[in-house]
Structure 1
């Protein structure tokens, strides 16, 4: 089974509320690698690679309403995994 890359842009009150830490914890639980970073426009960008099932679960968690802060919307892009990531870091 081929790994996938999920890139998600999360908007809402997601900076300064522990959102990146929470995302990292969920990603590590799911066995994903990648990173989460704040963007200049107030969103958080999440890049995660791993199985499609695990990436789907992370996306569902981001949209669950059970995150720190408040998520108003998530836009995602799917692509093939590049395989150049290790661990999951907060940038």
Structure 2
């Protein structure tokens, strides 16, 4: 089954609560590739790609995130699959 990719915009109390590090650990644990970064508006943006079941599992887990986070909503849209081999944290945009 070919990989899929989803672009995520995560809103709520998601900065300053270990959310990006949690995202990296969780995505890598699920075998996903992609990236995560803070946004100047207080949201977190991510691109996750890999097996469809793993991507869906990640999005479900991201609704909760780390213990201190309070996720209000996640906007998930289809994205083109990129040539990525790992999951990393990017600088704030």
For the criterion TM > 0.5, the same-fold answer is yes
TM alignment of 1:1-91, pairs within 5 A: 1-63=1-63, 65-67=64-66, 68-82=68-82, 84-91=83-90
Structure 1 residue 78 displacement after superposition: 1.7
Structure 1 residues without counterparts, runs of 5 or longer = none
Q: Evaluate the alpha carbon distance shift between residue 40 and residue 66 of structure 1 in structure 2; reply closer, same or farther with a 3 A threshold.
A: closer
- Separation in 2, partners of 1:86, 1:40: 27
Contact 2:24 2:88 in 1 (8 A): yes
Using the alignment, how far apart are the partners of 1:90 and 1:26 within structure 2?
Answer: 12
Tell me how far 1:66 sits from its aligned partner.
4.8
Inter-partner Cα distance in structure 2 for 1:58 and 1:24? 11
Where does structure 2 lack aligned partners over 5 or more consecutive residues? none
Q: How far has the Cα of 1:86 moved from its partner?
A: 2.0
Contact 1:12–1:43 (8 Å) recurs in 2: yes
**Is the contact between residue 31 and residue 54 of structure 1 (CA under 8 Å) also seen in structure 2?**
yes
Q: Give the CA deviation at 1:87.
A: 1.1
